[in-house]
Every structure is written in C-alpha cells, then in structure tokens.
Amino acid sequence: MKKITVYLLILFAGVSCTENNLIDSGIAEGNLPDKTIYQYLQSDDYNWALTVEMINHAGLTDIFNGDDPNYEEIMFMGLTSHSIRRWLYDQNLETIADTDPAICRQILLNHVFTDVYLRDETPTRQDDGVFITSIGGAEIQLFSEENIDPVYGVGPVFLKFNSADGIKVRDAQIASADIQPSNGVVHSMHYDYLIDKL
C-alpha cells in the first residue's frame, strides 16, 4: 500500500508540473512617451487609484500632467494606493475626501523632485549618493546599492533613499524604478512605505 501511495504522489507531482503553472506577465515596459505621469497613474487602478485621488484632492494635476511651466519634468517617488490606505487608517480616516487638501499637497510635494535620476545614473551609497531637495522642501540622500551574491559575484541594483538627516527615513527601497512617462520619471515605492515620514 505504501508503494502505491508513493507512486501516486510521484505521478501527481509529475502531472501537476506543467507549463500552465507558469504565469508569464511579460517584460516590463518602463518607457511611456505617449503618457504623462498623471495619465500613467490613471492607467493602473490597483497601484495608483488613491494616488490619483490624492493628486486631485490636493490640486496638483497640473504638475503631474506637465502643464505647470515651472515643473515641465519631475521625478516622483510614487506613493502607492496601499501606502496611502495605511496612512488613512493610521489617521482614523476612511477616504481621501476626509483629509485636509493642504496635508495631501505637502505629502505629495515632499515626494516630487525637479532633479531627475534614473537608477543606473544614481551614485552608489559608497559614493554618498546624491543629496536633493523636493518641491515640498524635503531633503533626501538618493543612492543605488548592488546586492552582490557571494557565490556568483552579481546581483540586482536597488534604488533607495534616506532623509538627509538620516533619521526620519532609513533605506526606503524603491520597488520599481525608471518608469518613464513623457514628463519625467516615476520610482514606485514599496507598499509598506510610510508616506508621512519625509
């Protein structure tokens, strides 16, 4: 009986491992010359619905659409809907409409920069990265960091930032870098990023 059970398990394992178990999500396309940052955010409700709502509530659509002549090109450290939802929960609020537009504006502008850096153009942590100031006045140290595998000697390059004081924000990791709409760059933050610490 034990042999039959073992044979059945092996047969089941062999049959269940087919190409249908693979979900090919394709190759990520970061170059989006036909969309502004605002249009890109509107195109992905799962990640950005609350972000778009917050931009509208704060009256910042002109900056994210590239319509403000002072900010024709920007870099946005993208605050995802998941981070915003957590912030709302922490504030005991249910919707963006319940928030103060001025607070939303400040949070967003703290994450918008006129200095635009792609991941591979950003100095490493060992080279002290680059210190830049957002439109909202938040100062950060932006840097790249390679996670080198000790066996193979290669690994992924991450983009991260610290608040300039090195205290408020430490090693905030960007989940998806170098999304390039027509008016700048979006670096999408991890879902667990705390949006009001910067």
Q: Which among 160, 185, 186 has a CA at the least distance from the CA of 174?
A: 160
* DSSP notation for 44-100: -HHHHHHHHHHHHHHT-HHHHHT-STT-SSEEEEE--HHHHHHHHHHTT-SSGGGS-
Q: What is the pLDDT of residue 27?
A: 47
Q: Residue 71 sits in a domain of what CATH number?
A: 2.30.180.10
Phi and psi of 27, rounded to 5°? -95, 130
108, part of any domain? yes
Split into its structural domains, the chain has a count of 1
Per the model's pLDDT, the better-predicted residue between 30 and 188 turns out to be 188
Q: Which among 128, 115, 129, 108 has a CA at the least distance from the CA of 41?
A: 108
Angstrom CA distances, 46 to 51, 85, 135, 170, 186, stand at: 10, 12, 27, 26, 16
The residue assigned the tokens 């036909």 is: 34
Q: What does the pLDDT average to over 164-180?
A: 88
Q: What is the pLDDT of residue 32?
A: 78
Q: What does the pLDDT average to over 94-117?
A: 96
18, part of any domain? no
Q: What is the pLDDT of residue 6?
A: 52
11, part of any domain? no
**pTM for the full predicted model:** 0.81
Q: Which among 147, 156, 143 has a CA at the least distance from the CA of 187?
A: 143
Under 8 Å between Cβ of 74 and 116: yes
169, part of any domain? yes
Q: Give the contacts of 11 (CB within 8 A, at least 6 positions apart).
A: none
pLDDT by residue (tens digit) across 2-29?
666 555 556 555 555 555 544 444 445 5
Under 8 Å between Cβ of 122 and 130: yes
148, part of any domain? yes
24, part of any domain? no
- Please give the angle made by the CA atoms of 49, 140 and 77, to the nearest 5 degrees: 15
Per the model's pLDDT, the better-predicted residue between 145 and 181 turns out to be 181
Q: What is the pLDDT of residue 151?
A: 60
95, part of any domain? yes
For residue 118, give its domain range.
Answer: 32-189
Under 8 Å between Cβ of 174 and 160: yes
- Looking at the DSSP bridge assignments, the partners of residue 173 are 160
13, part of any domain? no
Angstrom CA distances, 45 to 69, 121, 145, 151, 179, stand at: 28, 29, 30, 40, 16
